[in-house]
Amino acid sequence: MNALAPGKPPGKESGVSSTSSEPSLYAKHQKVYPRAVSGPVRRVKWAVLAVLLSLYYVVPWIRWDRGEGVPDQAVLVDMAHARLFFFWFEIWPQEVYFLTGLLVLGAIGLFAVTSLFGRIWCGFTCPQTVWTDLFMWVERRIEGDRNARMKLDHGPRDARWWRLKLVKHAAWLAIAMATGGAWIMYFNDAPTVTVDILTGRASLAVYGFFALFTATTYVLAGAAREQVCTYMCPWPRFQGAMLDENSLVVTYRDWRGEPRGKPDAAHGDCVDCKACVHVCPTGIDIRDGQQLECIGCGLCVDACDDVMAKLGREKGLIAFETLKNLAASQAATRGMAPGPERLAAGMAVRRPQKVIRPRTLVYAGVLSAVLLVMLGAWLMRETLTLSVQRDRAPLYVTLSDGGIRNGYTLKLANKGRGATLHLAVALEGPQGLRLTVQDAEQDAAGRPVITTRDDGITQWRALVTAPAGLNLPESTPITFRLLDAQGRSVLAQQSSFLGPRR
Ligand code: SF4
Ligand code: SF4
């Protein structure tokens, strides 16, 4: 049972009647009016929201001293200098594999968390959930809770309606602008770009992205809300592959709740009050089983626990539970009448969640392997690198005296900061090949000397010439070696010298 499947159209309980009894992809959207709820899950969600939003808005303002001439922003994607700064770390374009590794880590981590705790990402930490929660909180403060909002929307558009709607949308827009503005700060120096935006001195690109991210936040969190999760996000579609019977998911213990009805001995614990439906941000009824629309936020757990407490019944009619336990309880209570014996029988067969199982071991193994590779790559990271690019057009030039010449671009990347290095370039290859480096000085041995730039790349044009009479094959391996002042090899890079087919 309980395969993830589309449920009834969201908003069934919104107070607007549906025109069709069949779920349809083309059903008219019915607005969801979630009711406020309090309880342990809600408190955890508030805490997560506060931490994540604080991090998002505050991090660009954290300063980090890296020395002169380098950005002092702790987290910055420095497009102008093609660099990513993250506190102690500095990633160059040549090291983009670190970002790839981080993305792989994030993806596998998400798979692992999903296999253990179901849609905890969707329900607690996904930006769509966090900002929608914030927008709903603002909406409630201004328009009131579920009933008041429904009454407002279905009532006349009088002065009060306009006032409340204007205030709400102004507040949403302010949050959206703060969100869009904060995003820009991750790509620009935060204090500078803030002043530039406010004084009209920012570039068109900055204003463009500011407007884009403001509009995206406003539309997704204010208007689209649960529709993003239900129709736009691909994650619910394939997360089923990560869930199994041992994953924790929000479940209605139907073996205990049914038959639902009045709070008497003839009925189960569900009094059909629909509190769980009214608090649901996606407008579904968890009692219909596992559904694609359920983001696993657990607010229905709080709502139902509150009802159970008021009725003097045991909490947990809706709970974070494994499907394995749910099936075991269903089997143990089949045919039993509602009452304390059925509840005790159903709870007695529950077992602790099985955390160590093949799929979690695989995820843990892959996570550890990727982490180790990344750690090794970081520890062996070189601060000085040389890349040699041979000209591709033309591959070689025949000189008027019959000699053959190849052109190369030497790129010397210095990721460190400190003294400038002066390095002699030695060419290793067949006897007779001559090396010149344009604009380079020469050392006592007549070798061209190139210099590093602090925290930057220097680029040099090198020419290698084979004099007439030096008969080389079509392709000859050569090596550019950099030597320090004591003649010690610092770096070497292989390339090839091309000539006509003999
Ligand atoms: S909140 Fe609990 S008692 Fe009320 S309808 Fe939902 S499951 Fe039944
Ligand atoms: S059914 Fe419950 S857990 Fe699922 S989205 Fe609705 S309130 Fe959240």
- CB of 34 shorter than 6 A to ligand 2: no
- CB of 295 shorter than 6 A to ligand 2: yes
Produce one character per residue of 72-111: b if its CB has 16 or more CB atoms within 10 Å, e if not. Answer: ebbbbebeeeebbbeeeebbbeebeebeebeebeeebebb
Instruction: Write down the mean pLDDT value for the chain.
Output: 91
- Reported as a single tens digit per residue, the pLDDT across 192-235 is 999 999 999 999 999 999 999 999 999 999 999 999 998 899 88
pLDDT-derived band at 9, boundaries 50, 70, 90? very low
Residue 129 Cα to ligand 1 midpoint, Å, equals 23
| Residue owning the nearest CA to atom 2 of ligand 1 | 304
Lowest mean pLDDT among 79-83, 213-217, 283-287, 477-481: 79-83
Lowest mean pLDDT among 346-350, 373-377, 456-460, 481-485: 456-460
- CB of 258 shorter than 6 A to ligand 1: no
SS3 389: strand
Cβ partners under 8 Å of residue 427, min gap 6: 433, 435, 464, 478, 479, 480, 481
The whole-number pLDDT of residue 377 equals 87
Residue 264 Cα to ligand 1 midpoint, Å, equals 15
Residue 16 Cα to ligand 2 midpoint, Å, equals 20
- Reported as a single tens digit per residue, the pLDDT across 312-332 is 999 999 999 999 999 999 999
106 is written with which tokens?
């994030």
| Residue owning the nearest CA to atom 8 of ligand 2 | 297
- CB of 435 shorter than 6 A to ligand 1: no
Edge-first strand order for the sheet with 89-91 is 75-78, 83-86, 89-91
Using most ligand atoms within 8 A of CB, pick from 253, 273, 274 the residue to mutate for ligand 1.
Answer: 273
- CB of 297 shorter than 6 A to ligand 2: yes
The whole-number pLDDT of residue 16 equals 35
Cα 371-373-376 angle, rounded to 5 deg: 105
Do 290 and 4 contact (CB within 8 A), yes or no? yes
The whole-number pLDDT of residue 418 equals 67
**Which atom of ligand 1 sits closest to the CA of residue 303?**
1
Q: Which of 417, 419, 495, 409 is nearest to 460 (CA)?
A: 409
The whole-number pLDDT of residue 13 equals 43
377 is written with which tokens?
């790559």
- Reported as a single tens digit per residue, the pLDDT across 120-168 is 999 999 999 999 999 999 999 999 999 999 999 999 999 999 999 999 9
Do 411 and 457 contact (CB within 8 A), yes or no? yes
pLDDT-derived band at 24, boundaries 50, 70, 90? low
| Residue owning the nearest CA to atom 8 of ligand 1 | 270
- CB of 307 shorter than 6 A to ligand 1: yes
- Reported as a single tens digit per residue, the pLDDT across 395-440 is 999 999 999 999 999 999 887 776 688 999 999 999 999 999 999 9
Q: Report whether pLDDT(256) > 70.
A: yes
Distance, in Å, from the CA atom of 168 to the CA atom of 145, rounded to the nearest integer, reads 14
- CB of 280 shorter than 6 A to ligand 1: no
Q: Report whether pLDDT(25) > 90.
A: no
DSSP secondary structure, 115-166, as one string:
HHHSTHIIIII-HHHHHHHHHHHHHHHHH-SHHHHHHHHHS---HHHHHHHH
Residue 276 Cα to ligand 1 midpoint, Å, equals 6
Residue ranges and CATH numbers for the domains of the chain are 1-30 (no CATH), 40-238 (no CATH), 244-348 (no CATH), 384-498 (2.60.40.10)
DSSP secondary structure, 322-336, as one string:
EHHHHHHHHHHHTTP
The whole-number pLDDT of residue 383 equals 82
Omega of the bond prior to 263 within 30 degrees of 0, cis?
Answer: no
Q: Report whether pLDDT(15) > 60.
A: no
- CB of 251 shorter than 6 A to ligand 2: no
Q: Report whether pLDDT(295) > 70.
A: yes
- CB of 315 shorter than 6 A to ligand 1: no
**Which atom of ligand 2 sits closest to the CA of residue 279?**
7
Please state the rounded mean pLDDT for residues 21-30. Answer: 65
Q: Report whether pLDDT(4) > 90.
A: no
Nearest ligand to the C-alpha of residue 45? 2
Q: Report whether pLDDT(5) > 60.
A: no
- What stretch of H or E contains 42? helix 40-58
The whole-number pLDDT of residue 458 equals 87
Q: Report whether pLDDT(248) > 60.
A: yes
Residue listed under structure tokens 């509190």: 275
- What stretch of H or E contains 377? helix 358-379
Length of the chain: 502
SS3 459: strand
Q: Which residue has the higher pLDDT, 388 or 18?
A: 388
Q: What percent of the chain has pLDDT over 70?
A: 94
Residue 268 Cα to ligand 1 midpoint, Å, equals 11
Q: Which residue has the higher pLDDT, 124 or 96?
A: 124
- CB of 296 shorter than 6 A to ligand 2: yes
- CB of 37 shorter than 6 A to ligand 1: no
128 is written with which tokens?
């769509």
